[in-house]
Amino acid sequence: MRIRASLAAAAFSGAAALTALAVPAAHAGENPAATKAEQFKSAHQAPSKQRSFAASSAAEADGDIQVTKVTVNANKDVVVGLSPKSFNVYVTVTDPSGVNAEQHGVDVALWHGTDPDPETGDLDGFLWNENGAESCDYWSATAATCKFTITAKPGEADGLWDSSLNGKWNVTVFASANDGDTYTNDFYKNHWIKRASSFSGFNAGPEPVAKGKTITISGTLKRASWSYMKYYGYGSQYVELQFKKAGTSTYSTVKTVKTSSSGYAQTTVTASAAGTWRFHYAGNSTSSVADAYDYVDVR
């Protein structure tokens, strides 16, 4: 990542800008994300090649080195609850001279914000494996795919310290070749890191129930708070009530229910056949998908 040489100093002198991010008191006056970004830069760039962090979507390459593919978490959202979540990133690099096999010859990280220049104070999240690649598969003399394991730690200063870090993250990539060619792109792609959602107290009943009688389905949709390390009710969200008849494998949507301000949802249906009732929450740009199930025997 092309970080300004004065990044660490700017992180502190720019504390006023960072207050707009609603940093908890434990993090006031500091920016662990900027510190990790500085470490990332220092790990793989010689001092003569350190560059300022220019917000540009275009890749910068010296020579004919190429990064041909980056896959984050098997192209699935990274969903984090209240425990650390590790995920894999694969980076494929090609160069006629061969890919640099040193510890940080290839590197990758995820950062949060829209403009990572430290003067704006917008760099507020940075996830990186300081040990470099877990392994690299040099599957030809000119190409390699390197595997990285990155851990997102909720509630920690150098991780997901605040719930506002949910949503879109940027992927930055660095690669180097045996002949000294380098590639860097701070905006290679986007990836989503979301807060885990779940249902509590889900129930469909009574059970068993006579055909034609009323079934009541209820439950509370919750999602993780990285700021307070608890699950809270997630209000004003639309939840689908779905049914799968016994002996079949497909759910069909019966109706849509909106959760209350506390995340609670309740509805009723008429019992017609035995089967499994499900609340399905489709998620959004900041929160994961959630499902809850209950089988009801109809007699």
More confident residue, 275 or 61: 275
Residues 109 and 210 in one domain: no
Count: domains in the chain: 2
The CATH number covering residue 17 comes to 2.70.50
Residues 157 and 190 in one domain: yes
Cα–Cα dist 256/35, whole Å: 46
Which pLDDT score, from 0 to 100, does residue 58 have? 59
Which pLDDT score, from 0 to 100, does residue 119 have? 56
| pLDDT of residue 262 exceeding 50 | yes
Cβ proximity of 162 and 22 under 8 Å: yes
- Residue 19 sits in which domain range? 7-194
Backbone angles phi, psi at 217, to 5 degrees: -120, 130
| pLDDT of residue 15 exceeding 60 | no
Instruction: Give one DSSP letter per residue of 227-284, joined into a string.
Output: TTTEEEE--S-EEEEEEEETT----EEEEEEE--TTSEEEEEEE--S-EEEEEEE---
Asked whether residue 28 is assigned to any structural domain, the reply reads yes
Within 10 Å of residue 5's Cβ, how many Cβ atoms?
Answer: 13
Q: What pLDDT band is residue 18 in, cutting at 50, 70 and 90?
A: very low
| pLDDT of residue 122 exceeding 80 | yes
Residues 237 and 254 in one domain: yes
Q: How much of the chain exceeds pLDDT 90, in percent? A: 76
Residues 207 and 140 in one domain: no
Backbone angles phi, psi at 32, to 5 degrees: -60, -30
Residues 179 and 207 in one domain: no
